Amino acid sequence: MVRFTVLASGSKGNSTVVSSGSTRILVDAGLSCRELFRRMKLAGEDPETLDAIVITHEHSDHVSGVAVTARKLGIPVYFTEGTHRAWMRWLTPRRQMSYAQWLEQCRRQAAERQAEAEAAGEEGELDETDLVAEGEAATAEIVAIAADPVPEASTVAKDPAWLPAVEYFQSGVPFSIGDIAISPFTTSHDAADPVGFVFQADGVRLAIATDLGYISPNVKAQLQAVDLLLLESNHDLEMLRDGPYPWSVKQRVLSRVGHLSNDAAATFLEQDYDGQAAYVILAHLSESNNLPELARVTAERALSGRASLLANRLLLACQHEPLSPIYF
């Protein structure tokens, strides 16, 4: 049996559980670990049985709980390399320093290097065996850390980006976790390497496509022949225009790397969607620039324009509570 449970959706946090008979994947972890676990239990999902976390992109509403959750469960996190790097930079930002401080740091480092060189000179040159031994020691240490499911508090304090295991995937290259096949596809969004996913298990195909400035031809192609479509319907254009966001943020949301409007989602449903999904779930609704009823009516109008699509059940994902699990 395949199950799809949206735990949260919107700019304050996104997370969904995709389950097959033997594998359970958390897609994004944009709530605290405690809140994710609470919602999973509310929806009848057991957090302890999660096998992995997969991440769409590094924005905080998709990753804020990932490190704590992965450490607590001792499970791997799947990222693209670009997203993982961006996430690490976000967690460990470089300290800003003045030019004078930078010069001082350079002087100190030069002095340290010189002192090291002098010390090495006294001990005699390091020979190749020493270098190999040093390299091996360093590798052994990394392996030891990676193999330890419960890190020392000091490990985490030293490295807030520490995870039990990191796996890289590439957009456009399918991979599997347990018996769930995953096809990641590139989305147009202002993140390092953002993706959406199509999950396939037991012949059921489930698509997640949020955080999209627009639906590119590639995304359109990915969203065909799916049994469930979670699609962004972020804002109403008029509400965004007249709403509280500063002009620069409005421009960002509206841009080709921002978020999908109700109208853009409806245009896709009307013109490009093949109508095969049993469920269409509108997601990532803005609380400032949208109303659930507006999003629903806009999508319903688009679907009802095509009589053959009336069988599609339309649901709305919420920010503050999980949706009931959907079973296939």
Site residues for Zn ion per CB under 5 A:
59, 61, 211
Q: Could you give phi then psi for residue 313, rounded to 5 degrees?
A: -85, 130
Identify the helix (H) or strand (E) that includes residue 246.
none
How near is the Cβ of 195 to Zn ion at its closest, in Å?
Answer: 11
How near is the Cβ of 62 to Zn ion at its closest, in Å?
Answer: 6
Local structure of 75: helix, strand or coil: coil
Rg for the chain, CA atoms, rounded:
23
Q: Which is nearer to Zn ion, 59 or 205 (CB)?
A: 59
Residue nearest to Zn ion (CB): 59
Strand duo 204-209 + 228-232: pairing: parallel
How near is the Cβ of 151 to Zn ion at its closest, in Å?
Answer: 28
Identify the helix (H) or strand (E) that includes residue 181.
strand 180-186
Q: Which is nearer to Zn ion, 28 or 227 (CB)?
A: 28
How near is the Cβ of 174 to Zn ion at its closest, in Å?
Answer: 23
Q: Which is nearer to Zn ion, 193 or 211 (CB)?
A: 211
Two tokens, residue 78: 């799947």
Q: Which is nearer to Zn ion, 72 or 284 (CB)?
A: 284
Two tokens, residue 249: 């943020």
How near is the Cβ of 102 to Zn ion at its closest, in Å?
Answer: 33
Two tokens, residue 55: 């991440």
* 118 Cα distance to chain centroid: 48
Q: Which residue has the tokens 């093949």?
A: 274
* Angle (CA) 254 319 244, round 5°: 40
How near is the Cβ of 31 to Zn ion at its closest, in Å?
Answer: 12
Q: Which is nearer to Zn ion, 24 or 259 (CB)?
A: 259
Q: Which is nearer to Zn ion, 62 or 72 (CB)?
A: 62
Two tokens, residue 303: 């679907």
Strand duo 166-168 + 77-79: pairing: parallel
Question: Which value, to the nearest 10 degrees, does the dihedral of the CA atoms of residues 236, 238, 244, 250 take?
Answer: 80
Q: Which is nearer to Zn ion, 61 or 236 (CB)?
A: 61
How near is the Cβ of 212 to Zn ion at its closest, in Å?
Answer: 9
